[in-house]
Structure 1
């Protein structure tokens, strides 16, 4: 904030956002681990004309009637119903909490999900259902992600300009039979990729795939 003759002068304090991002990202690189995030296509992406329907499993009568993929493990869309399955595969640093072992009763019987919390950078948008792939070979499905923005004035903060972190996104470890394990790369390749060292941070440009903006235009707020 800045004051002139006792009156508030509205001005965006971009330096404050930059400083918070710098500290946050530095902590992630120092204390976190490299994670491959798989950002799936959503219905809003389809409505915005960013992606078409899967040509393999979204053309039959069942899919058209119910708006759902006819095959959960479709090799083309990975159960999303949208062509290609994902809009981005990106590597970012993240910090995880320890996993808590528990049991729950579901339609598939008694399962023992390992649920953790994670925190990562603010330069992309995640949704419930996206995946985080760790260097241990585990693949986790993200639940109810939240973001942190820094308010520097009276205006509404936007993630692309004022976002500083994704905060306390819940994630649950997927079973080895999950469709998540059909998404490339294979587990052995995933471990090798995320174990890279040398440069600070190492480059992952050869494995990243970005098919649409990491923060869609319709979700800038």
Structure 2
């Protein structure tokens, strides 16, 4: 508690944020499943000097003219146009909703889209175009999530300090011929084996995870 000119000003209680995050993460580990998230490089990462252009597909005339990869299934950048393709591969607990099969008519014909919602931890930032991989073998493309943050006073509730969840992120199941199935591990049996690990709680995924840049970039601190 502190006083300024006779007025009460709420003091930030870091322990309260930590306790709320702990409860949320415990629930995810208890009722959720392990998912492998592929966080892809973005143009903002390149502008921030975190990654260079893909040497395989970003140096031809098409890429230079349109500012995007000349082929979607580049084995080097996975269609991102940036070297290595992804900034991180991480395993986190997540809760997925059920999905019902449906059909829709598009310019490419009749398709059967599946869209689910998922919730996971708050220690990383996703963007549209990132991917989540499940122990079922499915790979899903993510949409921009809605964050849940705790307000601890008059300050801005930045994700790094006050977020407790990524709440109800939309994700669409990708077709088998999608570039998502080229991401490591590109073998579905290997993916299932990784995400089905048991033993320690939580099990270690240090041999699988790759982190090439901050999980919450400094330019996206809010």
Alignment of 1:162 with 2:162, yes or no, is: yes
2:10·2:152 contact (CA, 8 Å) conserved in 1? no
2:94·2:119 contact (CA, 8 Å) conserved in 1? yes
DSSP 3-state at the match of 2:88 = strand
Correspondence list, 1:194-213, <5 A? 194-213=195-214
Deviation of residue 4 (structure 1)? 5.4
Task: Give the Cα–Cα distance (whole angstroms) in 1 for the partners of residues 106 and 179 of structure 2.
Answer: 18
Residue 75 of structure 1 is matched in structure 2 by 75
DSSP 3-state at the match of 2:20 = helix
Residue 133 of structure 2 is matched in structure 1 by 133
Show structure 1 runs of 5+ residues with no match.
none
Q: TM-score, length-normalised on structure 1?
A: 0.96
Correspondence list, 1:96-111, <5 A? 96-111=96-111
2:2·2:11 contact (CA, 8 Å) conserved in 1? no
2:115·2:172 contact (CA, 8 Å) conserved in 1? yes
2:149·2:163 contact (CA, 8 Å) conserved in 1? yes
Residue 14 of structure 2 is matched in structure 1 by 14
* Corresponding pairs, count: 220
Give runs of ≥4 in structure 1 deviating > 3 Å.
2-6
Residue 190 of structure 1 is matched in structure 2 by 191
Task: Give the Cα–Cα distance (whole angstroms) in 2 for the partners of residues 43 and 106 of structure 1.
Answer: 29
Task: Give the Cα–Cα distance (whole angstroms) in 1 for the partners of residues 81 and 181 of structure 2.
Answer: 17
Correspondence list, 1:16-95, <5 A? 16-95=16-95
Across the aligned residues of Structure 1 and Structure 2, the Cα RMSD in angstroms comes to: 1.3
DSSP 3-state at the match of 2:136 = coil
Structure 1 range deviating more: 139-148 or 88-97: 139-148
Show structure 2 runs of 5+ residues with no match.
none
DSSP 3-state at the match of 1:93 = strand
2:68·2:81 contact (CA, 8 Å) conserved in 1? yes
Task: Give the Cα–Cα distance (whole angstroms) in 1 for the partners of residues 127 and 166 of structure 2.
Answer: 11
Task: Give the Cα–Cα distance (whole angstroms) in 1 for the partners of residues 75 and 138 of structure 2.
Answer: 20
DSSP 3-state at the match of 1:148 = strand
Task: Give the Cα–Cα distance (whole angstroms) in 2 for the partners of residues 66 and 104 of structure 1.
Answer: 30
2:126·2:144 contact (CA, 8 Å) conserved in 1? no
